[in-house]
């Protein structure tokens, strides 16, 4: 078998002939197997081309019209899918006696220039076998008429969105096999149903978004030909005010109805009208529903399980009881709607079938009422974010049987986001007796407080899987919570800015590969006991860092075994609380600052013992970390990569290096300048 066997010779030649016409030729080479070419797919048995993607092979902006010879594609007798989008095609040239591609099922002509006249002259007969036609975004010259689709009796899916010049009558009712019809963005204002027309009995999906359809479309005579549909999309049209739904209620198979982003106030329901028993999803986002008539308006849709009312400008404050007739309602969205007040929640216990409730960004104020939340026995998600709630959460939240299990016992909770709220102390605090079964990965509570100080949440004592914790701007009535690091050794992101923390902090970053330091490491009024940057590869100046360390109360500064250069800065002498200073094994040069001899190098063991014993350090061994936001929170080769250890420091005494751990450090003081390029005579006098 030579290099070219594997595809038929005449099909390879036809592909090469097409490629020669392209403005952007594909990388197809003669004397190679065309079944291996990009954009061509062959049947593994017959070796005939069955799929061909020729999209965007012409320059749409430079080439006004491409006239495709039907003879160029007729060679592909087994072709099933033909993609020709984005090519400025205006016409298919058909020669007398041309064959029909009898096996072609899918034809995509999106983004071309095929007008109405060209459509009926050049496409219909040669491609009469297709079951799916995609002809969106064509620049039309000439309207599409009733008879234009006469030859396409096999069509199951017809997409003509953004085709602009569609005649009202459309010869679509002759397409008895049609299941999906997409006429979005076509400025259609109505359908003229011709006398004697048959219904599209197989039609399931009708899309008419962003046309110019008004309430007349929902008359019974207009929708009758579409009585079989299960999905109807009518968003961004011209429905205004009160809408009569008598015709709509004749669509007995309807399961999804989208009337979002119109100007609907209410639905007019005639006495004795039956509900749409199969309707499951109703979208009414972006309307102006009349709150006084909301309950009556949605009564014909009483079997729905999902109701979307986000971004509504309700003319009256609505309450939960407005939805109590929807016995199957599981999903209710009211995000960013107006006229929602605290009163809404007083009857929330009536919506017993709810699983998901969203009221995000509705401007609701006050304290959540202590109502019958526990009756929502199926509730799984509750989003009340971006409102203006204050005070305590209802006590029933802690024992909410509406979640898969009560809140405190719900082991599935992994993320809690409560940013931008006002945190206050409970006026009547009770002792927390419940122990949470959940282990959080992330807790974000960046908020403001309207009291002077608040304590850390008690349940944090039981958390040991935290990776992200943000408590910024909370006024915490604590010193630095070292136990958070002790309990959560996987912590990657800890944000405690503007928390008014007290006490001291140790910072150990030794045995890494740091090469430089930031200009500013610490904010003003920071408190730091130990800074260990030893055994890195830092080569920058330490002058900026020393400026940050001034007034921190720093006791241990370990910078040994790096590549620090320049002279030892006099600013080191400002660290009046230092007791151990290690600058050994660096590249410092010049003389030793005489002011170092004036540093007392003294400490108070009683105070330091308390600080050192209370503070631990998380060390990374064989560091290997990746962190993602929505995927795996952390990846580790094994748990041995993380260790929680007592504070330790290595220091040289009498030419020998020893590692000292824990409280013994409180009794040590000294300075190590060995293994540098220092010169001259030292005027220091050190006593240890």
Residue that the structure tokens 């978004």 belong to: 209
Q: Which two three-digit tokens encode residue 592?
A: 């030793």
Rounded CA separation 200/202 (Å): 6
Could you read off the pLDDT of 155-190 as tens digits, one per residue?
A: 899 888 876 555 554 555 567 888 998 888 877 776
Residue 145 CB: number of other CB atoms within 10 A? 17
Q: Kindly provide the b/e burial profile for residues 62-101, where b requires at least 16 CB atoms within 10 angstroms of the residue's own CB.
A: eeeebebbbeebbbbbbbbbbbbbbbbbbbbebeeeeeeb
Let me know: does 549 contact 567? Beta carbons within 8 Å: no
- CA-to-CA distance for 317 and 156, rounded, in angstroms? 46
Contact 609, 680 (CB under 8 A): no
Positions of the chain with pLDDT under 70: 1-6, 94-98, 116-124, 139-148, 163-174, 190-199, 398-413, 417-434, 447-453, 476-479, 497-498, 500-527, 544, 548, 550-552, 602-668, 681-688
Cβ-contact 350, 326 below 8 angstroms: no
Domain extents in the chain: 1-203, 411-502, 506-678
CA distance 396 to 403: 11
Is the CB of residue 85 less than 8 Å from the CB of residue 107?
A: no
DSSP 7-75: S-HHHHHHHHHHHHH-SS-----TTS-GGGSTTEEE-TTT--EEEEE-TT-S-TTT-S-EEEEGGGTTT
- Exposed/middle/buried for residue 439 (C-beta within 10 Å: 0-12, 13-18, 19+): middle
Assigned token pair, 455: 């304590």
- Taking a C-beta distance cutoff of 8 angstroms, is the pair 558, 536 a contact? no
Contact indicator for 130, 155 with CB cutoff of 8 Å = yes
Q: Check residue 66 and give its pLDDT.
A: 83
Helix spans in 251-325 (H): 294-297
Closest CA to 474 of 518, 422, 417, 436: 422
In whole angstroms, give the CA distance from residue 427 to residue 50: 74
- Mapping DSSP to helix (H, G, I), strand (E, B) and coil, where does residue 333 land? strand
List, as own/partner pairs, every contact residues 522-525 make where C-beta atoms lie below 8 angstroms and the sequence separation is at least 24, other chains included. Answer: 522/548, 522/549, 522/552, 525/551
514, burial (CB in 10 Å: exposed 0-12, middle 13-18, buried 19+): middle
**Pairwise CA distance, residues 584 & 595, whole Å:** 18
Question: Contact, 28 vs 14, CB < 8 A?
Answer: no
| Rg of the Cα atoms in the chain | 37
pLDDT at 362: 94
Instruction: Point out which residues pair with 42 in neighbouring strands.
Output: 49
Query: How many whole angstroms separate alpha carbon 143 and alpha carbon 618?
Result: 72
- Can you tell me the distance from the alpha carbon of 650 to that of 643, in angstroms, rounded to the nearest whole number? 18
Q: Are 312 and 288 in contact (CB under 8 A)?
A: yes
What would the two tokens of residue 591 be?
């003389």
DSSP, collapsed to helix, strand or coil, labels residue 596 as helix
3-state secondary structure of 236: coil
**β pairing state of 448-449 and 616-620:** unpaired
Q: What is the pLDDT of residue 69?
A: 82
Tokens for 21, please give them.
């016409």
10 Å CB burial of residue 160 (0-12, 13-18, 19+) is buried
User: Quick one: tokens of 290?
Assistant: 């009349």
What tokens were used for 371? 């109502």
- Output the pLDDT for position 502: 63
Among 3.30.70, 3.80.10, 1.10.1740, 1.10.287, name the CATH number for the domain at 506-678. Answer: 3.80.10
Burial of 27: CB neighbours in 10 Å, binned 0-12, 13-18, 19+: exposed
* From the candidate CATH numbers 3.90.1150.10, 3.80.10.10, 3.20.20.80, 3.30.360.10, the one assigned to the domain spanning 1-203: 3.80.10.10
The position carrying tokens 């090519």 is 87
d(CA 515, CA 511): 12
């Amino acid at each position: 078998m030579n290099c070219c066997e594997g595809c038929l010779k005449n099909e390879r030649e036809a592909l090469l002939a097409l490629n020669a016409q392209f403005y952007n030729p594909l990388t197809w080479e003669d004397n190679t197997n065309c079944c291996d070419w990009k954009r061509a797919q062959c049947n593994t048995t017959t070796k005939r081309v069955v799929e061909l993607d020729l999209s965007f092979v012409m320059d749409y902006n430079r080439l006004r019209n491409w006239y495709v010879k039907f003879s160029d594609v007729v060679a592909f007798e087994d072709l099933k899918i033909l993609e020709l989008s984005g090519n400025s095609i205006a016409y298919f040239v058909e020669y007398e006696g041309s064959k029909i591609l009898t096996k072609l099922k899918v034809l995509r002509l999106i983004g071309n220039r095929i007008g109405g006249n060209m459509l009926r002259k050049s496409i219909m007969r040669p491609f009469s076998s297709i079951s799916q036609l995609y002809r969106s975004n064509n620049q039309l010259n000439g309207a599409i008429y009733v008879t234009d689709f006469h030859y396409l009796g096999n069509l199951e899916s017809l997409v003509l969105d953004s085709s602009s010049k569609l005649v009202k009558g459309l010869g679509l009712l002759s397409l008895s096999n049609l299941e999906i019809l997409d006429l979005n963005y076509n400025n259609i204002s109505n359908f003229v149903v011709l006398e004697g027309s048959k219904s599209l009995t197989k039609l399931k999906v009708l899309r008419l978004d962003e046309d110019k359809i008004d309430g007349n479309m929902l008359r019974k005579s207009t929708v009758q030909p579409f009585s079989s549909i299960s999905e109807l999309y009518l968003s961004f049209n011209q429905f205004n005010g009160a809408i009569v739904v008598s015709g709509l209620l004749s669509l007995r198979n309807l399961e999804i109805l989208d009337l979002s982003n119109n100007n609907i106030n209410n639905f007019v329901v005639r006495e004795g009208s039956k509900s749409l028993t199969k309707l499951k999803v109703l979208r009414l986002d972006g309307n102006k529903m009349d709150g006084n008539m909301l309950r009556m308006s949605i009564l014909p849709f009483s079997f729905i399980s999902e109701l979307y009312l986000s971004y509504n400008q309700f003319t009256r404050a609505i309450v939960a009881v407005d939805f109590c007739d929807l016995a199957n309602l599981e999903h209710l969205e009211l995000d960013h709607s107006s006229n929602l007040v605290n009163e809404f929640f007083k009857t929330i216990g009536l919506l017993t079938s709810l699983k998901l409730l969203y009221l995000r960004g509705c401007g609701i104020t006050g304290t959540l009422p202590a109502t019958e939340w526990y009756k929502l026995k199926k509730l799984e998600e509750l989003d009340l974010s971006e409102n203006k709630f204050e005070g305590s959460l209802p006590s029933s939240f802690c024992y909410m049987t509406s979640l898969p299990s009560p809140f405190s016992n719900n082991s599935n909770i992994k993320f809690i986001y409560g940013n931008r709220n006002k945190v206050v102390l409970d006026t009547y605090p009770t002792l927390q007796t419940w122990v949470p079964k959940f282990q959080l990965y992330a807790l974000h509570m960046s908020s403001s407080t309207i009291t002077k100080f608040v304590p850390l949440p008690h349940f944090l004592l039981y958390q040991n899987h935290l990776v992200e914790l943000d408590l910024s701007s909370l006024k915490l009535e604590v010193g630095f919570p070292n136990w958070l690091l002790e309990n959560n050794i996987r912590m990657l992101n800890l944000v405690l800015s503007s928390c008014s923390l007290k006490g001291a902090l140790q910072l150990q970053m030794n045995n890494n590969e740091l090469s430089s330091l930031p200009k500013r490491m610490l904010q003003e009024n920071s408190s730091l006991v130990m800074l260990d940057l030893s055994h890195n590869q830092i080569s920058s100046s330490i002058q900026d860092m020393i400026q940050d360390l001034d007034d921190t109360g720093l006791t241990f500064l370990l910078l040994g075994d790096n590549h620090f250069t320049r002279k030892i800065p006099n600013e080191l002498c400002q660290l009046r609380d230092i007791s151990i200073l290690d600058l050994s094994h660096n590249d410092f040069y010049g003389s030793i600052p005489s002011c170092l001899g004036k540093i007392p190098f003294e400490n108070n063991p009683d105070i330091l013992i308390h600080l050192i014993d209370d503070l631990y350090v998380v060390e990374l061994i064989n560091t290997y970390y990746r962190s993602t936001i929505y995927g795996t929170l952390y990846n580790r080769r094994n748990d041995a990569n993380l260790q929680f250890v007592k504070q330790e420091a290595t220091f040289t005494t009498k030419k020998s290096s020893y590692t000292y751990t824990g409280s013994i450090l409180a009794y040590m003081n000294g300075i190590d300048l060995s293994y540098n390029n220092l010169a001259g005579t030292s005027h220091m006098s050190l006593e240890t």
